[in-house]
Amino acid sequence: MKTSNRPTAFALLALAWIGTAAAQPTEEEELALAYGDQSTVSIATGRSQPLSKAPAAATVITAEEIAAMGATNIDEVLETVPGVHVSRTAIRYIATYVIRGVFNGQTNPQVLLLQNGIPLTTMFSGDKGAGWVGVPVENIARIEVIRGPGSALYGADAYAGVINIITKTAADTPGTEFGVRGGSFNSKDAWVQHGGKWGTMDVATYLNVGSTDGIKEIIKADAQTASDKTAGTHVSLAPGPVSTGYNAIDANLNLARDKWRLRAAYKLRDKLGTGAGINSALDPNSEGRVEEVTGDISWSDPQFARNWSVGTLATLQYYTFTYPTNLQLLPPGAKVGGVISPNGLIGGPNSWDKQFRYSGNATYSGFDGHSLRLGIGHDDLDLYQTKTIKNYVLVAGQTVVGPVMDYSFTNPFIKPQQRRIDYLYVQDEWNFKRDWTLTAGVRHDNYSDFGGTTNPRLALVWDATLDLTAKLLYGKAFRAPSFNEQYGINAVNLGNPNIKPETIQTREAAFSWQARKDTQINLSLFHYDSQNGITPVSGLYKNKGTQYGNGMELETVWDASRALRVSGNYSYQKSIDETTNQDAGYAPHHHLYARADYRFSGNWMLGSQVNYVADRKRAVGDNRPDIPNYTTVDIALHNSQGKKQWDYAASVHNLFNATVLEPSLAPGTAIPNDLPMAPRSLWLQITYKK
């Protein structure tokens, strides 16, 4: 007779359920696993502290949150930050990070981009450079963003905001991970990253190789279209697609032992398309090449002596930007200087720069209620080589076309230049009364080419109640002129050696409210005044622009249950050009971002997000209608099995195929119909961890 095993089976199932239930993490632990540590920030003062008490309007985005939103590059991540809108320029379709309405045309020098606290500024254009495109996110541990000035701590270009990208260490990547991703526009990536021990040393490595054909959206009319009408020619390539493809390599190395850390990074963008054309005339065949090598070595001792912590840092950066194929600034058959040019207008500006930076800091906590931080540093910035290949020269203000030649010594676009900076800063965090902290700091930078600049900051933080923190913030910041703005020899705009830095002063009030155990609400109110804006006037860069702005940023996170998180933010800003007393243009007055993440079946997460960008005015002198509003919807499905498992992700961006346009520059005659962005796209990703 067969014996039933049903009671034994029930008993085993009951024991298994009890054991599983006993091992279930708390809700707080589950949220930390799903979204990472978003409660601390280091960018505001140079040391880790609670985000709610940081003396700045700051945002933290973790690796876990990046994975949950289905982002494939850093630009998609930054679009979710309150007060930040990612726009594009016609030249190479490079992303510009517009923070609180501060916008500067084809480059993005008013935002300081850091990687592990080190500036990634290039010398010629004064921004993050042409290679900052399609930057992958797999090796990012967290991104910290300050909205507002940061020059009192970080110096030049921490003007409208500071973005610090922190890459993964050995502790963030235990074991080895392999990954592949493919998607629309013939895009593909493959990567490997590893974290572990090599003897007594912590080792983290990362390599990503990828390529894409880029979007092929149609430019209906370009700069040559307008020239054709006046010159009686018919040579424009518009209507035609933008050129946004590239091949990419990204690599990072992070070694740490005791108090020492060594980091190195390599970035390559090859066969880089010209976007809508370097001269706003479509150029589908020209390609650029960008290489960037960075390295740093640091030593820090948090217990150097009683009440003292100290640290030192030395960094280097090599950046090269070359054109293996000369640029077609205007197509063959274009009329230049009143004469038909069979070869059009051809140019090939190439540049090489190197940067060495040395700094030291010390923090003293021996005074009751004070944490005093001192810093000193020296930067040696060198645009050490340039090369100019072109088929034209300026003669008495007229463009004369000839054969393609090397004009590096006779008629360069810029000559090699050097800049040296010495700086000193001091910052005091003074807990002068229970629940009250005053952070005061000042930094002085002395430049070899335009002199000195001093930038203070003040922040009063009050823990009003157990659940509410209020902040009053003041800061002054500056943007150093780029080498092109000072020394450029350009057919369109000449550099001005007498130019001064742009300056900005910002006043803010911020509130952080834990409305309920499951609901966090943050509010920031700001006003800024900027002076000495650098802008071309009659073919020469000058300090002319003056602007002020007001706005607010509201963000909330609601953990509705263990399985559902709803979050979002709304930003409003209005920026006024004081010269004309009219809207400064380009940036959205209203920006709404909303997201919902639902976790199910243990390790799966389904996310959806909505991005609404509205009320973008034209700049003064641009009579076109306002830039159209748009709403995009993205969905992402993601699972994470933890260690030694396969993980899968799929996402659809711009699900309903909304028409998304970013503004072309005033007066709009170059590209009158603005810049079309990506249509609906699909992405699939597989990773394996062992």
pLDDT in tens, 365-380: 999 999 999 999 999 9
CB 490 within 8 A of CB 484: yes
Q: Is beta strand 661-662 parallel, antiparallel or unpaired with respect to 675-676?
A: antiparallel
Closest listed residue to residue 374, CA positions, set 364, 384, 382: 364
Contacts of 562 (CB under 8 A, 6+ apart): 27, 30, 599
The per-residue pLDDT for 31 is 58
Angle (nearest 5°) at CA 30 between 25 and 34: 150
Mean pLDDT across the stretch 531-545? 90
Look at residue 1 in the predicted model and tell me its pLDDT. Answer: 40
pTM of this prediction? 0.93
CATH number of 26-689: 2.40.170.20
Q: Please state, in angstroms and rounded to a whole number, the distance separating the CA atoms of residues 552 and 590.
A: 10
- Dihedral, 447, 453, 454, 459 alpha carbons, nearest 10: -100
263 Rama class: left (phi>0) / alpha (psi -120 to 50) / beta: beta
DSSP per residue, 449-504 = TTEEEEEEEEEEEEE-SSSEEEEEEEEEEEEPPPHHHHH---SS-B--TT---EEE
Among the ranges given (53-67, 184-198, 632-646), the one the predictor scored with the smallest mean pLDDT:
632-646
Q: Tokens 């923090």 sit at which residue?
A: 363
Whether the Cβ atoms of residue 314 and residue 282 lie closer than 8 Å to each other: no
Specify the pLDDT at position 21: 37
pLDDT for res 33: 59
Residue 630, pLDDT > 90, answer yes
The residues near 211 (Cβ < 8 Å, ≥ 6 apart) are 186, 187, 188, 245, 246, 247, 248
First to last CA, the chain: 48
Q: What percent of the chain has pLDDT over 70?
A: 94
pLDDT, residue 28, reads 58
The residue ranges of every structural domain in the chain are 26-689
> Using 50, 70 and 90 to split pLDDT, how confident is the model at 34?
low
Q: What is the DSSP letter of 39?
A: S
Rounded to 5 degrees, φ, ψ at 16 are -65, -40
Q: Which has the minimum average pLDDT: 97-106, 566-575, 675-684?
A: 97-106
Among 460, 456, 429, 461, residue whose Cα is nearest residue 443? 456
Q: What number of CA atoms fall less than 13 Å from residue 81's CA on the CB side?
A: 28
